[in-house]
Amino acid sequence: MTAPLRLGTRGSALAMAQSGHVAEALTAATGRPVELVEVVTAGDRSTAPVHRLGVGVFVSALRDALTAREIDFAVHSYKDLPTAGAPGLHIAAVPQRQDPRDALVARDGRTLAELPPGARVGTGALRRIAQLHALGMQLEVTPIRGNVDTRLGRVLGPGADLDAVVLARAGLARLGRTDVITETLDPMLMLPAPAQGALAVECRIDDQDLVELLGVLDHAPSRAAVVAERALLATLEAGCSAPVAAYGELAEGDAGEEIYLRGAVISPDGTRDLRLSRTGTPADAAEIGKALAAELLELGADSILGQEGHAGPGTQQFGSTE
């Protein structure tokens, strides 16, 4: 009998759920059995705010386990990956992306527009904090940490101390908790993080048989959108605490399929909000992202990023999907 492939995953409910989905899809497509191997990361052990944890805090332990051949492949929330690649490792597949939008979970079924001035809204991402401030609704935005259930408990639990929380819709969907969403936020109000809702299936580059096997899970439109978004992020060289957002969508254009990419850089207090868009072909995904980043830099995005510390290329860490 063929030995099961060892899939490394974080131990949170969300990480286990998304890794389980990948394992089931791979087995269904190839017949190969897969077992989940829990790997504890530095981010799981820390209680510090997400944007202060440092680069790759949710992925470095998984990559170490891959390099040490303790696991065969790993599944990451793609937005957790630094933009610089890891030596000897390869993103073999980007499965079809979940809805990348953010979601509001509020008391009494309220939407964002129904929250009163002074309402306490919790989120773990500076990108969301900045965009909430930019709305000018006089909300009290509170940084929070914890897994999905912990965050939901801050609004829906017996000890609730917040009026609402903002989370990635994809995480709630993977956990079967979309029933608690009171509003899925329009990207015009809340542009997602680069690669939000996407998974990265990573293995060793020298394991060509596995690279080919995992390739059956790759979804070309999802990969193209993510490549464009992360190229923008890498070109901006945004530091770990810089609020950068990007969202690429594929649609039929006059000359065939094209990517419509939106990007934004927002100051943490919301007073400066630069937003631009650009289109191009999926084959030029990386160039679209780079060009849009260059336009944002021409408008002064570097001065916003400089407020947060310019950490250099490959140093982005925007927090877990949770």
Pairing outcome for strands 102-106 and 164-168: antiparallel
**Catalytically annotated residues:** 80
Amino acid 55: pLDDT: 43
Over residues 150-194, the pLDDT tens digits come to 999 999 989 899 999 999 999 999 999 999 999 999 999 999 999
* Least trusted range by pLDDT, from 42-56, 58-72, 107-121, 169-183: 42-56
Average pLDDT for 105-118: 96
pLDDT > 60? residue 309: no
Q: Would you state the pLDDT for residue 54? A: 46
pTM greater than the 0.85 cutoff: yes
Instruction: Give yes or no for residue 45 having a pLDDT over 60.
Output: no
296-304 long-range contacts, CB within 8 A, separation 24+: 296/232, 296/236, 296/263, 296/264, 296/265, 297/235, 297/236, 299/274, 300/272, 300/274, 301/236, 301/265, 301/274, 304/242, 304/265, 304/266, 304/267, 304/272, 304/274
What residues pair up with 246 in beta bridges, in sequence order? Answer: 263
Low-confidence winner among 154-163, 196-205, 302-311, 312-321 (lowest mean pLDDT): 312-321
**pLDDT, mean of residues 20-49:** 81
